[in-house]
Structure 1
């Protein structure tokens, strides 16, 4: 199993997950050309992908969906309500719509969606079960519900939102209505809320944690990492790799 953040932040997001028998991309928030460049940087390419899974319709997650799917003839798995909001992406030959909670089998993996709270039509997170263990992906969520925490239990790799530092957001340059949106239950998860979620997901099999969707204005990698390391340093169950996603380039790839 191999997991890599091809990029993560307010300008573009994509997560690559590879098992022995399947390679998928979760979200396509960069241009098809940029996604191709970032896949090449980790030693693979669009023609090697088996499918594209979408979390929601916002442009920083869907910008390259249509061109990438058409160029490489990829099936696109998407919640039916999300797909209705993606008309601007153009015609796609192979769209496979699902309901939140559906489990989809591809090769040697099973991808199960679960609902999250965000200001989109029907946003979802994913748990990818591989022969080597589970990968959980949950970004763009205003609140970590009990369902989210339950679905992410037992994952060997976690991709978790750590969007903003609460003080930086409060004192920063954003207009008040945007601050309220980010802080709401349908906005984004703060460093503190992310760390609290992580604390409940610790177990002896946790091997890697990727902190994702950091705000370039209201957060810093140092602050996000410090919150997570405070939780990790206060326990002895596991010592996972901690990686911070960036907007500019693919993160370190974690391999099991």
Structure 2
């Protein structure tokens, strides 16, 4: 009887080990697939387009974006991505990269920011917005995130973002934390990082904008958050709304010290 029990425990151990190996192997395969694609990441095409758009004179005012202030002074783009969202005195608002670009496109080039915000993702000026965000993010690649938290609004936005992250609602009673609120979770062989704390270099907030291989699209952070709300069965948030910017502040502050790998490549 004891021999039978011992054999049963050995068999169970082998099954557990095999299952664990298969799970690890699947994750490793996905990472290897991403590594192979990274050498020819299509995001590079968006980077090139974004740099051209930054310098090109466009809009009703026939002006470029070369005097756009993204937080380090007019025309400075290196290193700004890892310090956004942040408070801007001229708009008296906390803004992320995309909402700040909207401000510059309106004030410098004469575009209608409200109309751009209403444009569907991947079309018209929204497509240009994604290209600009991709290029600017690339100019801060490998730099460490260090979002400011000195202004009162920046602190408020962090707390609002934290509440939104844990807010459960919708038909499925989901929240952001349902998928990203604990360690060692996954869905469809996809690891789900815990975003309530620093997830590490190039993970979560530190990986967007990113090219989505599954649909052949380049996504900025605004679209990433929009799709998260879709999966929670929430109404879509407004583009560059205070809600999405607040979530960006919460995720960005939690990523302090992590290196940006944006623009990354995703499944």
TM-score (ref. length: structure 1): 0.26
Q: Which has the larger radius of gyration?
A: 2
**Which of the two has greater helix per residue?**
2
**Which of the two has greater strand per residue?**
1
Greater RCO (Cα-Cα under 8 Å, separation 6 or more): 2
TM-score (ref. length: structure 2): 0.26
